[in-house]
Amino acid sequence: MRYLTRTVWLLSLVSLFTDLASEMLYPIMPLYLRDIGFSLVLIGVLEGVAEATAGLSKGYFGQWSDRLGRRRPFVQWGYSLSALSKPMMAVLAAPWWVFLARTVDRLGKGLRTGARDAMLADEATAERTGAVFGFHRAMDTLGAVLGPAAALLWLTVHPGQYRTLFLLAFVPGLLAVLATFLVREKPQQPSDRPVKPFWASFGYWQRAPAAYRQVAGALVVFALFNSSDTLLLLLARQQGLSDTAVIGVYIFYNLVYAAAAFPAGLLADRLGPRRVLAVGLLLFAVVYAGAAQVHTWWLFGALFGLYGLYAAATEGIGKAWISRLCAPTDKGAALGTFAGLSSLAALMASALTGVVWQTLGPQAAFGLSAAVAAAVAGFVATRRPA
């Protein structure tokens, strides 16, 4: 497997350590925020500002990395900011400080995403982009398995000690930063295109090839109806699962995702990304159509297993396909723009799903998402192979 180069391995390990740090905090973040006095509204505003920061910055920093012909500095600084944000959360409980720490974390994500994905694309041949991105997603998601497990173990022994957990999360974050210094990037020809201002960071869309706009546009439409996993977990809790069962199915989802991501990438290289992506979207439709209908832990476990297969068949493979639809000097801007638009769409998706859920019920909310996913799957399946 020569396509799994040193750079691919290192970037994948960096993502594993970073996701381990982040997912250590994911299950307890709402509990911690409520514990220090945040209202539900303030938590929503915090997450909205954080995700908007990440979404708006991905395209900007992606095109900047193209302009300089350099990727590694963006990767290093991006992961450094995210690592720094973890202990910041434990230092002070004032709302303005928590907002600053969360924004620093998301700014780090925006800073690194386009450049990192471009480095992965640069390491892959046209025949192995699915495998490279699939392997990276598998390692990244392995961190999402280890993180919640580590948090549960800590809180079982030390209940309520949230601040110490934030400090502990700095350790894998620091390991991720140190690993970035071992990454070697290939020489790149700088783009001759000027960097658009921050507020116009999605300018690549106007000059992108038609095939890019069609595929990326369809996936962004899907993202507009793909709400946060938090709502799916909340539905499971509302349908009768215990807190332990909810956390259990979430860990099971990540296990399936981690195990299936690399094989899904290999399959996409063999069959073409559009077919695997279309199947993944149909699996999403099945999960969302069924989630509001079931009430037992084993049925939810089955659905979350399918949900893991959906994620494996879409997350990395969508990026792999898009990386083939742009010029080599535009990879940072193309992947950053797609990631940024997807982030902003996902932000609106959670609000939209919440409104429909509150007014028409969970069957309508999750049924709408399922219908849109099925429609996008049909559109994707009819596109020309890349």
Percentage, residues of the chain above pLDDT 70: 92
pLDDT band at 26 (very low <50, low <70, confident <90, very high): confident
Tokens coding 210: 């038609």
CA angle 223, 228, 233 (to 5 degrees): 140
CA angle 229, 232, 236 (to 5 degrees): 140
Please tell me the predicted confidence (pLDDT) of residue 163: 82
Delimit the domains of the chain by residue range: 6-183+207-381
Please tell me the predicted confidence (pLDDT) of residue 304: 93
Q: What is the mean pLDDT of the chain?
A: 84
Tokens coding 117: 């994905």
The tens digit of pLDDT for each residue in 198-235 reads 555 567 788 889 899 999 999 999 998 988 787 787 78
What does pTM read for this prediction? Answer: 0.80
Please tell me the predicted confidence (pLDDT) of residue 320: 84
Mean pLDDT confidence for 313-318: 89
Tokens coding 285: 């439709």
pLDDT band at 31 (very low <50, low <70, confident <90, very high): low
Please tell me the predicted confidence (pLDDT) of residue 178: 95
Q: Identify the CA nearest to 82 among candidates 7, 207, 170, 152.
A: 170
For the domain 6-183+207-381, what is the CATH code?
Answer: 1.20.1250.20
Distance, CA of 312 to CA of 335 (rounded, Å): 18
Residue 99 neighbours by CB under 8 Å, 6+ apart: 46, 49
Which amino acid makes up residue 369?
Answer: S
Q: Which residue did the predictor score with more confidence, 142 or 248?
A: 142
Please tell me the predicted confidence (pLDDT) of residue 207: 83
Tokens coding 22: 């982040």
Q: Which residue did the predictor score with more confidence, 62 or 244?
A: 62
Distance, CA of 158 to CA of 234 (rounded, Å): 25
Distance, CA of 203 to CA of 207 (rounded, Å): 8
Question: Is the confidence at residue 55, as pLDDT, over 60?
Answer: yes
Q: Which of 295-299, 309-313, 326-330 shows the highest mean pLDDT?
A: 309-313
